């Protein structure tokens, strides 16, 4: 079972990311790196990455011809997706335990959301 673990932050990132100072940023980076290593070693890791600032996003609507291109992120929001993991876990309890570790490491709240599985009833 795969879960998306997302971290949100402000649309514009400073040189320090969202971190208050360089020391905190360096620590968060190092601890997140160590957390990723643990995910790899335990077989939970599928993918992880951080995103450039949301202000660098572009929205494309290809349902019309020619496609409409708009500057900025899709949602008008104060908080935007800043980075994410995709993990493999047996169930939500395991995913939540990993998310707690990741949250502590990266110093942000983590949203845990399951990927869709084939649902015989739906």
Partner 1 sequence: MSEPALASDVAEAVTRAHQSDWARVVATLTKRFGDLDLAEEAAAEAFATAVERWPADGIPPNPGGWLTTTATRKAIDRIRREKKRGDKYREAMLVLDDEPLEPLGALDDERLRLLFTCCHPALAMEARVALTLRMVGGLTVPEIARAFLVHETAMARRITRAKQKIREARIPFRMPGAADLPARIDGVLTVLFLVFNEGYLATGPDTDPVRADLTAEAIRLTRLIRAVLPDGAARAGEVTGMLALMLLTEARRAARVSSSGELVTLDEQDRGAWDAALVREGHELVRSRALWVEASGEAPGRYQLLAAINAVHTSARDIRDTDWSQIVALYDQLVTIDPSPVVALNRAIAVAEVDGPDVALAAVDRLGAALDGYHAYHATRADLLRRLDRSTESRAAYDRAIELAGNTAEAAYLSRRRDQLG
Q: What residues make contact with partner 1 under the rule CB under 8 A?
A: 1, 90-93, 96, 112-114, 116-121
Nearer to partner 1 among residue 60 and residue 92 (C-beta): 92
Residue with tokens 């932050």: 9
> Which tokens sit at 107?
């110093």
Least gap, CB of 37 to partner 1 (angstroms): 22
Least gap, CB of 16 to partner 1 (angstroms): 32
**Would you list the DSSP string of 73-100?**
-SS--SEEEEEEEEEE-SSHHHHHHHHH
Least Cα distance to 36 among 83, 74, 91, 90 occurs for 83
Nearer to partner 1 among residue 5 and residue 28 (C-beta): 5
Least gap, CB of 51 to partner 1 (angstroms): 24
Nearer to partner 1 among residue 74 and residue 115 (C-beta): 115
How many DSSP H helices and E strands does the chain contain?
A: 2, 6
């Amino acid at each position: 079972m795969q879960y998306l673990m997302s971290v949100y932050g402000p649309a514009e990132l400073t040189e320090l990311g969202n971190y208050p100072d360089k020391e905190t940023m360096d620590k968060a980076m190092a601890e997140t790196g160590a957390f990723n290593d643990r995910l790899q070693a335990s077989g939970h890791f599928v993918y992880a990455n951080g995103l450039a600032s949301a202000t660098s996003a572009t929205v494309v609507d290809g349902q019309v011809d020619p496609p409409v291109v708009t500057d900025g992120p899709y949602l008008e929001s104060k908080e935007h997706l800043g980075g994410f993991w995709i993990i493999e876990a047996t169930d939500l309890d395991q995913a939540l335990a990993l998310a707690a570790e990741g949250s502590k490491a990266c110093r942000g709240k983590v949203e845990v959301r399951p990927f869709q599985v084939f649902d015989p009833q739906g």
